[in-house]
Amino acid sequence: MSDGEFAWIQELAAQFGAGRFPDGVYGIGDDAAIIPAKVMGASTEEARWVVSVDSQVSGVHFQPGWLSWPDMGRRLLHVGFSDIAAMGALPSLALVSVEVGVEVTAGHRQEFAEGIAAACAEMDVRLIGGNVSGRKEGFSAHVTAIGVLERSAPLLRSGALPDDAIFVTGHLGAAAAGVEILRDGRSENSSAAQALVDAYRHPRAHWRGGLALAGMSWVHAAIDVSDGLAADLGHLCQAGGVGAVLDGGAIPVSPAVVEWCRETGCDPLDRALAGGEDYVLLFAAPPNALKERELKERFASFGGEVWRIGTITASGPPSINRGGKQEHLTPHGYDHLARGNDAQR
Ligand SMILES: [Mg+2]
């Protein structure tokens, strides 16, 4: 068995099957699974459930003190439904399972539930079940996120075509910088540091954007940026058997990252490429000025934004154009099974 997280997922895909099954189920290999309603006994051919599971584990995804209990609950749901958004599905139902250490009080549990309730209200999701288990110490929570897909062709990671334009639906780099500030115990006092920590603590699933993309049949492929732009673009290219060139000057680096890098001497673009947990959507669509305008207007209608950041190519590893120089894009994404991981990156 291989060491890395992604290699293990590939082995599991070979063992259990992946992609589209003959009955229309899409299994391992994308942001979420797709289940035709008819497989679950429904009479209609069209409707499909989109299902994914995600975890937040103390000591791995966060350290005690990084998140308030309500933030933990809210964050769990938004992160879970980000994968549903990436498939173009409407958030619908959730199940939440928790493992609760002895130090966690009834008050903490209630506050956690309040965060879950806030996220449910924000996305119009219903909590329909879950599980509670005790453990020695610490806290883990797992969400099963279920959405409804009404698009006739699913919005998958695969499907990007050479010459497609590459877009993202939000600023990049802030959450990972926020984690760094918390991990290193740096001051959160500057306005930039506060904004970065806030981006980590309060992610939001771009589900309105996902629905907008689902309504545009000409959008070819999508993924959410959870591992970092470079890593997730790599996943999209690998799934579609294509390459990509990013335009370094067009990438929407978080303004707080720019300010923070000015204070600390880091490179804002590097941070935007490597930083994970942004939970914006990354997608590929034909390079057509009219369609691009339609896209921007559609996103503006709900206060969303899109940035065009590059072009899909026929092959080759993803690269980036930085000030006229083309460089290979190194995926710095977080691998949960990489050797030498201590708690949190
Ligand atoms: Mg994802």
* pLDDT on residue 200: 96
Centre of ligand 1 from the C-alpha of residue 279, in Å: 8
* pLDDT on residue 25: 86
Structure tokens at 195: 């904004």
Structure tokens at 162: 């050479």
Centre of ligand 1 from the C-alpha of residue 84, in Å: 8
Centre of ligand 1 from the C-alpha of residue 148, in Å: 17
**Contact status, residue 323 vs residue 267, Cβ threshold 8 Å:** no
User: At CA 116, angle to CA 114 and CA 150, rounded to 5?
Assistant: 145
Centre of ligand 1 from the C-alpha of residue 277, in Å: 10
CA distance 51 to 170: 24
What residues have CB less than 8 Å from 181, skipping those under 6 apart?
Answer: 187, 188, 193, 196, 197
* pLDDT on residue 169: 98
**Contact status, residue 77 vs residue 156, Cβ threshold 8 Å:** no
* pLDDT on residue 14: 85
* pLDDT on residue 39: 72
Centre of ligand 1 from the C-alpha of residue 234, in Å: 13
User: At CA 6, angle to CA 74 and CA 158, rounded to 5?
Assistant: 80
Centre of ligand 1 from the C-alpha of residue 27, in Å: 14
The stretches in the chain having pLDDT less than 70 are 1-3, 40-45, 332-335, 339-345
DSSP 25-80: -B-BTSSSEEEEGGGGT-S-SS-EEEEEEEEEEBTTTB-TTSS-HHHHHHHHHHHH
CA distance 208 to 200: 20
Centre of ligand 1 from the C-alpha of residue 251, in Å: 20
CA distance 299 to 304: 5
* pLDDT on residue 211: 95
* pLDDT on residue 155: 93
* pLDDT on residue 342: 44
Spell out the alpha helix ranges (H) of 124-267.
Answer: 174-183, 191-201, 207-214, 229-240, 255-264
CA distance 5 to 9: 6
